[in-house]
Amino acid sequence: MIKEVLVLGGGSAGFIAAISIKRKIPQLKVLVVRSPSIGVIGVGESTTPNFPPHLFEYLGISRKRFYALAQPTWKLGIRFLWGARGSFDYTFNLQLDTHYADLAKPTGYYCDDDFNDASLPGALMRRDMAFPRQENGAPDIHGWHAFHIENKKFIEILEIVAKEEGVEVTDGKVTGSERGDKGISAVHLEDGRRLTADLFIDASGFRSELLGKTLEEPFVSFDKSLFCKKAVIGGWERGPDEPILPYTTAETMDAGWAWRIDHEHLINRGYVYCPDHISDDEAAAEFQRKNPKAKIEPKIVNFRSGFYQRQWVDNVVAFGNAGGFVEPLESTAIMILCSHVQTLVDFLLHSDLEPTPTMQRLYNDLTANTWNDIRQFLSLHYKFNGKLDTPFWKVAREETDVSGIADFIEFYQENGPTGFCRYQLPRSENDFGLEGFLVMMVGNQVPYKKRYKATQQEAQAWARRKQQFAQEANRGIRSEEALAYIKHPGWQWNSDATK
C-alpha cells in the first residue's frame, strides 16, 4: 500500500501534483524535492479553462487569496493572427458548434466571409472586453475564462499552499536512484541523503530524471507534425496607453509564431520557431523588429514535442514536462497536468492505494489519448495557415503530418462545418471539442464543396443576432476595470464565478 510519495521537482507540475495528492488523500506523506541550482523553466504563463476550477473547486484554494498573491489576468481565448483572413478569435465558449433555430444550418456555414461577433465571447474578445457588465456596473465573471499568470508568482503561491496543506519541501539535487522490486526504492541526493518512498512523482521538467533517464521509457516524438523546437522570449513593462488584452495572441512569424501574453504590469512575448528555417540570431532579430520595446531574455528555450509512451511505469508517474510536452500554441501543458493529476488521484482512491496493473495500463492509455489529441489539433493549425508564403510556412502546409485526422479533413472538405464532423474526429471526447477543430477550419477558410448561400431572411436573422452580441459586448468591461472591482475590499466572490 502506498503511504509515502516523493515528488521530484518544485515547478508548477511538482507543486500542483503534490497539493492535489495531499489535499485529496491527506493520509499520504508527501515530500517535494527540488534543486535551487537547477531552478525552474520559468515559462508557462497561459492556461485553459479547466485551470480555475482545478484551483478553486478541486483544490479549494480561496479566490480572494489566489488573486491577491498570483495576480492573474483573464484569458477568454486565443487571437490567431493567422490564415487567409488574417485574424480570427478562438474563444473558450461555443461559437461555431451551435445551431440556431431560425437558421437552416449550423453557425459555421454563416461565417465563411465574416467570422466576427459570431457569439458573445467572440464579440467581447473582438472589443478587448473581459466580461459582460451586470446591471449594477460590476463584471459578470463567467466561467469560460482561463488565466495568464507569471510563472514565478504562480510557483511562489503554490509553494505557500503546499506547505499549508502539510506537504514537506526540501532543497536538494537528485543524483542517482536505487531500483527495487516495485520500481524505484530510493533516490540519492548530492548532499548524501537517501530518500525512500512508495510512489515517485517525476516532475523534474525536461530532464525527466526518473521516467526518461532512469527507467528509459521510450519517447513518442511528434516531429512529423510539429516542426518548431526553440523559443526566444522577451517582454516589456506595460505602458499607460497599452490596454490589458483579455486573450493570448498567436501571431504568424516567418519561421513559426509568436505569443503575446498580457499580465497586469508586464507584456510577455515569445517566438516559437523552427531552427531548420531560421538561425537563433535571425529569430531574435525578427522578434525584436516586431517588438521594439521587448527586452530579450538571454536564454533560448529548447524543447521537443511528444510524450513518454507510458506516463506511469512501475512506481513512477510523470507530470508536466517530465512526462511530455507539446509546443505551446494552445497553452496545453497546465491543462493536461491538471487533468492527469485528477485521474491519478482517482485511480489511487479507487484502488485503496494499491493500484492494480490493469489500472496502470488504463491510466497510460487514457493519458496517451490526451497527448495524441493535442498533436492532431495543433497539426491543423500548421497545415492550414495560409497567411505567409515563407519557406517555413510552405513546408508546414505541404509536409505537416495530418494523417491521424485525415477522415475529419476529408469529411469537412466535402461537407463543410456541420456538427456531424464530430463523428469523424479520432476521439470526439477530446479536450477541444468539435468547436476547436471547426474554428481552425472556418478561421483558416479551408475550402469545402458545399458552400452555402444564406437566404435573405436568414442573412437578416444572423445579422440581428450578431448585432445583439455586439451591443452586449460594447457595454462590456475591460480587464483593468474588472481588476479594480475584484481588488476592492468589499468585493465578494460567489460560486457563480465558475459556472
Residues that bind ligand FAD (CB under 6 A): 8-14, 33-35, 38-41, 43-47, 151, 173-174, 203-205, 207, 209, 231, 270, 301, 303, 320-322, 328, 331, 333-334
Identify the residue whose cell numbers are 497561459.
46
Q: Which CB, 51 or 109, lies closer to ligand FAD? A: 51
Cβ–Cβ under 8 Å, residues 368 and 81? no
Cβ–Cβ under 8 Å, residues 10 and 169? yes
**Cα 24 from chain centre:** 24
- Shortest approach of ligand FAD to residue 46 CB, angstroms? 4
- Shortest approach of ligand FAD to residue 36 CB, angstroms? 7
- Shortest approach of ligand FAD to residue 190 CB, angstroms? 8
Q: Which CB, 29 or 173, lies closer to ligand FAD? A: 173
Q: Which CB, 108 or 320, lies closer to ligand FAD? A: 320
> What number of CA atoms fall less than 13 Å from residue 419's CA on the CB side?
11
SS3 annotation, the chain: CCCEEEEECCCHHHHHHHHHHHHHCCCCEEEEEECCCCCCCCCCCECCCCHHHHHHHHCCCCHHHHHHHHCCEEECEEEEECCCCCCEEEECCCCCCCCCCCCCCCHHHHCCCCCCCCCHHHHHHHCCCCECECCCCCECCCCCCEEECCHHHHHHHHHHHHHHHCCEEEECCEEEEEEECCEEEEEEECCCCEEECCEEEECCHHHCHHHHHHCCCCEEECCCCCCCCEEEEEEEECCCCCCCCCCEEEEEECCEEEEEEECCCEEEEEEEECCCCCCHHHHHHHHHHHCCCCEEEEEEEECCCEEECCCEECCEEECHHHCEECCHHHCCHHHHHHHHHHHHHHHHHHCCCCCCHHHHHHHHHHHHHHHHHHHHHHHHHHHCCCCCCCHHHHHHHHHCCCHHHHHHHHHHHHHCCCHHHHHHCCCCCCCCHHHHHHHHHHHCCCCCCCCCCCCHHHHHHHHHHHHHHHHHHHCCECHHHHHHHHHCCCCCCCHHHHC
- Shortest approach of ligand FAD to residue 496 CB, angstroms? 26
- Shortest approach of ligand FAD to residue 466 CB, angstroms? 31
- Shortest approach of ligand FAD to residue 66 CB, angstroms? 17
Q: Which CB, 116 or 151, lies closer to ligand FAD? A: 151
Q: Which CB, 319 or 437, lies closer to ligand FAD? A: 319
Q: Which CB, 12 or 379, lies closer to ligand FAD? A: 12
- Shortest approach of ligand FAD to residue 150 CB, angstroms? 11
- Shortest approach of ligand FAD to residue 257 CB, angstroms? 11
Q: Which CB, 70 or 441, lies closer to ligand FAD? A: 70
- Shortest approach of ligand FAD to residue 339 CB, angstroms? 12
Cα separation, 19 vs 159, in Å, equals 9
Q: Which CB, 13 or 161, lies closer to ligand FAD? A: 13
- Shortest approach of ligand FAD to residue 317 CB, angstroms? 13
Q: Which CB, 64 or 163, lies closer to ligand FAD? A: 163
Q: Which CB, 302 or 474, lies closer to ligand FAD? A: 302
Q: Which CB, 147 or 437, lies closer to ligand FAD? A: 147
- Shortest approach of ligand FAD to residue 203 CB, angstroms? 5
Cα separation, 171 vs 32, in Å, equals 8
- Shortest approach of ligand FAD to residue 189 CB, angstroms? 8
> CA nearest 486: which of 91, 238, 131, 47?
131
Q: Which CB, 89 or 458, lies closer to ligand FAD? A: 89
